[in-house]
Structure 1
Amino acid sequence: MKIARPDDASPDGRLLRSTASARFAAWVADEAREMPLPGSGATRERFALLHDLGRTDLSLTRLAEGHADATAILHELGAPPPAPEERWGVWAAQPPGAVLKATQEGRGAWRLDGVKAFCSGAGSCTHALVTAETDAGRRLFVVDTGHPGCAAVAGSWQAVGMAGSDTPDVTFAAVPALPLGEVEAYTQRPGFWHGGVGVAACWLGGARGVAETLVRAVRRREPDQLTAAHLGAVDSALYSAECVLERAAGEIDADPADTGAQALVRAARTRAVVADVCARVLDVVGRALGAGPLCHDGEHAQRVADLGVYIRQHHAERDLAALGSELAGRHDLLSSSEGAR
């Protein structure tokens, strides 16, 4: 027996993408200009805005964070900011198998050919900053995504979590591109690591949103000791991550140019702490509330799915190994934490 149900009761990736795209356009038009640049003296405010976006809608946050990151990159590499009608993304993932090649065709003229993976906002961004391989190394390029040689690969974004972020693979066929900065300028600037901390602020906002379902459930009934313990565990975990994020923001503003060479380790530490806290919040809230909200509260279920995917931008043990390798030769950083005791 087939049970009939209305079409809008089932998840619809196209609806989620179109909704996030509309919200993204509205955010760019109304709020994007309020986002301070990292290291401008208002990094705490920047992270707070990203956190608050994540608390409400993680797919929108992914798109907004990309536009905010692109704005910061353009500023740091000496290019004009986005025009008011433009929506920008940063397409810089480098997974195995997807290769995008940049070829110089004349003085200042380049073309991009190949495939770029994980292109968030492929259907809603008007422009993108894209990393591509050149004969001299990896470079960053400005691309008008409306060019006919730019096309999303059908079926390459099957995600349930973060479905609305519209993050497919994109093919490039003779797409004109403008280089921004020299070879490896994208990753060698301090803002690369400052931006990585900003992503953690988005994750943490999502965890706060997940935790609010537990808070509402507790307030509707008299908490037993077990539920109270779950709430206490979630609150203390979120507080610890917020403290780490607050410290990172202060350190970025104190040394935006990274003269102390601590940006890499700061970003790696902060992302690791926040990713662990997000995973703990997902686990504890799930154990505290059971299957009920996951099955009957669509907003909560989507937020849980979104956060589970989003925090996979932290590459778990691989990122921890990179942090440990960096620390192995940096006794100044190890001793600084000991001196704080």
Structure 2
Amino acid sequence: MTTTPSGEPVLLDELTTAGTRELAALGARAAAVAGDVDAALELAADVGASLPRPGSGQSAFVWSVLATLGASDLTVARVLEPHLDAIAILDQAGEPAGPGTWGVFAAEGPGEPLRASSAATGDGAGGGAAYRLDGRKHWCSLGAVLDHALVSAWVGDRRQLFAVDLQAPGVRAVAGTWVARGLADVDSGPIDFDGASARAVGEPGWYLERPGFAWGGIGVAAVWFGGAVALARRIRTSATTRPPDQVGLMHLGAVDAALHAARCTLSHAAAALDAGELTGDAGARAALRVREVVALAAEDVLRRAAHGLGPGPLATDEDHARRVADLELYLRQWHAERDQAALGQAVGAAGPAPW
């Protein structure tokens, strides 16, 4: 049995009829361009500015959008999620995004980090927002085809965020480094910057310290959740359309419980965000918790899909095989035991135990 993405919406909370219809329409559009990066970029440019931002009172809808994209197609979701995050970051900074597509390149990699220096006249300490970037930035998803990106770089001993025109001189995507089997068309290799012009977005440290940093991390978890939901739907179809299969039903029951817990966690976080409770240390702890719960649920769904469905879909169903490979790689944005240790440290420093 070969499957294709349906675009069926993934609801993290009850929505209005209009909101559910909007979600279904977006899911259908994402499913229609599954696996097509160019079409996904067009979709991102078309819908990015019209969607609400996290913390705007519609956080459950925002994360339902990301979950629906994840369930429709993870390649499409991988294109839209950072574009939407970049728009939200610029909105927090009080800057317009303008036309075109955006990425967010803020991960650190091996070797000498990317450096920024003032391009203004004088001593550069207060000469304005103009900078130049020099060095290599790792993990630049779609750096060769995006219009713009928000890029973190080091200014002295602090990190700062910069807006960069990726099509301008001094920007070169390094080809031939992306060999991933999952998200194969979302080339996330490095970019070399050689005196590239950049505009500061926020003060040094602002990108990591702003409340939206944690909110963006939860948004990524919503995409993971959507990818896991799509696999769970396949498990359900298999378990309920063949002769009674107690093992298949056992996997389906376990998957339902895991995804219920993940959905409740995301829904609770959305309500807390809209209530103004996810700022500062509380926001950071919440992001670590949510990502932990969702990532572990998604890993369980992957395992149970393999056990319950067997090798057939992995070998003969293009959509299923690609979704499994995509989700396995996407989940590695969760840092597993390192994030668990970070959460433990945060909980230990938070005063009274939270449970």
Give me the TM-score of the superposition, normalised by structure 1. 0.89
For residue 229 of structure 1, the aligned residue among 238, 243, 250 is 250
- Find out whether 1:41 has 2:62 as its counterpart: no
The Cα shift of 1:250 comes to 0.5
Contact 2:183 2:329 in 1 (8 A): yes
The Cα shift of 1:212 comes to 1.9
Give me the identity figure in percent: 42
In structure 2, the residue corresponding to 1:163 is in which secondary structure? Answer: coil
Distance 1:307 1:19 in 2: 13
Identify the residue that residue 18 of structure 2 maps to in structure 1.
none
Aligned residues: 316
For residue 117 of structure 2, the aligned residue among 99, 103, 117 is 103
Identify the residue that residue 126 of structure 1 maps to in structure 2.
147
Distance 1:241 1:218 in 2: 22
Identify the residue that residue 236 of structure 2 maps to in structure 1.
215
Matches within 5 A, 1:288-299: 288-299=308-319
Contact 1:20 1:165 in 2 (8 A): no
The amino acid across from 2:322 in the alignment is: Q
Matches within 5 A, 1:260-279: 261-279=281-299
Distance 2:35 2:258 in 1: 32
Deviation sequence 1:156-193 (CA, Å, 0-9, x none) = 21111011222111111110000010001000000000
Identify the residue that residue 90 of structure 1 maps to in structure 2.
104
Contact 2:35 2:75 in 1 (8 A): no
Distance 1:233 1:140 in 2: 42
Identify the residue that residue 13 of structure 2 maps to in structure 1.
none
The amino acid across from 1:324 in the alignment is: G
Q: Tell me: CA distance 1:25–1:317, structure 2 relative to 1, closer, same or farther (3 Å).
A: same
Deviation sequence 1:248-276 (CA, Å, 0-9, x none) = 011011016727x4100000000011010
For residue 78 of structure 1, the aligned residue among 94, 101, 107 is 94
The Cα shift of 1:20 comes to 3.2
Distance 1:34 1:178 in 2: 24
Q: Tell me: CA distance 1:321–1:202, structure 2 relative to 1, closer, same or farther (3 Å).
A: same
Distance 1:98 1:164 in 2: 27
Identify the residue that residue 176 of structure 2 maps to in structure 1.
155
Identify the residue that residue 322 of structure 1 maps to in structure 2.
342
Identify the residue that residue 14 of structure 2 maps to in structure 1.
none
Distance 2:114 2:286 in 1: 30
List runs of 5+ in structure 1 lacking aligned partners.
Answer: 1-16
RMSD over aligned Cα atoms: 1.7
Contact 1:210 1:285 in 2 (8 A): yes
For residue 305 of structure 1, the aligned residue among 314, 325, 336 is 325
The amino acid across from 1:286 in the alignment is: A
Relative to structure 2, which stretch is displaced further, 167-176 or 26-35? 26-35
The amino acid across from 2:46 in the alignment is: D
- Find out whether 1:64 has 2:85 as its counterpart: no
